[in-house]
């Protein structure tokens, strides 16, 4: 069963391409990640799939309903947690849920029962009559997830679900998401720029950069693609080091970025001394050297030539967090 089918989807804003002719499909019951830096086009993809934004060209279906022709059926099939908060702070947790239930025309009896059930699931039942403005960031997120599930959607969209949350809350949210996926069989599509999050939660993921899908597979397969191990060396003479290393026969792939060089190779432990000797033989200082198994971070670097952090406009995150706290 296919939950989401996307074909040649494109979105332009005033000539600027936000989503560039992408195609992919997601099976039902899958947790699928859209991974990429801020501004890569993840949120735009979600906005189109949730019928909030019309694509410039291309087509897509969610739960076998066309996003252009069967807008209402798509909307009934999906639950969504937006990147920015979308609760009414002047209402209580229960009232926010109730408002949602009424909008989706859930009969009163079912509504009342399900609200309590879901508030229990996200451990907010004893806070149900408190105004949302007294809630912490994590509580608000949990309430939004519970709300998104009220009308029993087949597909749940989570746009940066753990942005700006502390590590503990993040862990708890991950547990909820896993539980939902396993127990209720809900297809989950989440966007994130936290590699760790994608690694932990997603069955498969698409790495998105500048509106294009540059890789799509399971986390293991993506890492295997790079192969073997990764050595990262920091040096003040990066370029000279890079040109020397590039000549070595057992180096599969080397790439300079920031003030370091990243090398992919097999059996890094055996070769690390050769690298050190090569550097000292040429009088190149080494500040730092590390050997590790490839991470998604390396995968992203491999495909884009940049680390995801270089791309991240740290200030944007901070502003969003401040806004959230200020509310």
Using CB under 8 A as the criterion, which residues of the chain lie in contact with another protein when the complex forms? Answer: 50-52, 71-73, 75-76, 80, 82, 84-91, 95, 99-100, 102-105, 147, 327
Smallest gap from residue 311 Cβ to another protein (A): 25
Q: In the complex with another protein, which residue's Cβ is closer, 80 or 272?
A: 80
Question: Which residue number, 78 or 208, has a Cβ lying nearer to another protein?
Answer: 78
CB of 295 to another protein, least distance (A): 33
Distances (CA, A) of 287 to 24, 119, 229, 231, 307: 43, 52, 20, 13, 20
* Cα distance between residue 230 and residue 49, in whole Å: 37
Q: Which of 177, 278, 302, 282 is nearest to 228 (CA)?
A: 302
CB of 306 to another protein, least distance (A): 30
State the nearest-atom distance from the C-beta of 62 to another protein, in Å.
Answer: 12
Both structure tokens of 207? 């790495």
Cβ proximity to another protein: between 97 and 124 the closer is 97
User: Is the Cβ of residue 50 or residue 264 nearer to another protein in the bound state?
Assistant: 50
Element (H or E) spanning 207, and its range? strand 204-209
**Three-class secondary structure of residue 102 per DSSP:** helix
Closer CB to another protein, 276 or 322, in the complex: 322
Least CB distance from residue 95 to another protein, whole Å? Answer: 7
Q: How far is CA 59 from the centre of its chain?
A: 22
Q: What is the DSSP string of 156-178?
A: EEEESTTTT--HHHHHHHHHHHH
Beta bridge partners of 260: 234, 257
Query: What secondary structure does DSSP assign to 203-234, as a single string?
Result: SEEEEEETTEEEEEE-HHHHHHHH-SEEEEEE
Nearer to another protein, 75 or 154 (CB): 75
CB 73, min distance to another protein, A: 8
Closest by Cα among 83, 44, 38 to 308: 38
Looking at beta carbons only, is 103 or 110 nearer to another protein?
103
Work out the angle between the directed axes of helices 108-121 and 137-149 (0-180°, nearest 10).
140
**Cβ of residue 172: shortest distance to another protein, in angstroms?**
22
SS3 265: strand
To another protein, the closest distance from the beta carbon of 103 in angstroms equals 4
- Between 76 and 172, CB nearer to another protein: 76
Please enumerate in sequence order all residues whose Cβ is within 8 A of that of 24, keeping only pairs 6 or more positions apart, or say none.
6, 206, 213, 216
């Amino acid at each position: 069963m296919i939950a989401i089918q996307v074909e040649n989807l494109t979105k332009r804003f005033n000539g600027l391409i936000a989503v560039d002719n992408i195609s992919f499909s997601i099976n039902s019951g899958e947790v699928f990640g859209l991974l990429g830096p801020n501004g890569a086009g993840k949120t735009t993809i979600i906005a189109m799939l949730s019928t909030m934004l019309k694509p410039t060209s291309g087509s897509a279906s969610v739960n076998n309903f066309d996003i252009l022709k069967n807008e209402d059926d798509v909307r009934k099939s999906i639950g969504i947690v937006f990147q920015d908060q979308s609760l009414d702070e002047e209402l209580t947790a229960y009232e926010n849920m109730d408002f949602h239930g009424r909008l989706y025309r859930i009969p009163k009896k079912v509504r009342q029962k399900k609200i309590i059930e879901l508030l229990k699931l996200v451990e907010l039942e004893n806070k149900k009559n408190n105004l949302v403005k007294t809630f912490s960031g994590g509580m608000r997120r949990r309430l939004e997830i519970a709300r998104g599930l009220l009308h029993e959607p087949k597909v749940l969209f989570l746009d940066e679900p753990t942005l700006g949350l502390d590590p503990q809350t993040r862990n708890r949210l991950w547990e909820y998401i896993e539980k939902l996926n396993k127990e209720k069989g809900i297809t989950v599509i989440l966007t994130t720029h936290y590699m760790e999050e994608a690694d932990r939660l997603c069955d498969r993921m698409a790495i998105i950069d500048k509106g294009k899908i540059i890789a799509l597979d399971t986390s293991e397969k993506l890492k295997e693609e790079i192969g073997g191990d990764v050595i990262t060396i920091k040096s003040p003479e990066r370029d000279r080091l890079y040109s020397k290393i590039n000549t070595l026969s057992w180096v599969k792939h080397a790439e300079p970025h920031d003030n370091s060089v990243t090398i992919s190779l097999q059996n890094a432990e055996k070769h690390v001394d050769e690298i050190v000797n090569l550097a000292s033989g040429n009088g190149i200082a080494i500040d730092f050297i590390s050997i590790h198994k490839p991470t998604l971070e390396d995968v992203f670097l491999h495909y884009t030539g940049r680390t995801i952090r270089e791309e991240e406009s740290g200030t944007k995150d901070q502003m969003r967090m401040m806004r959230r706290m200020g509310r």
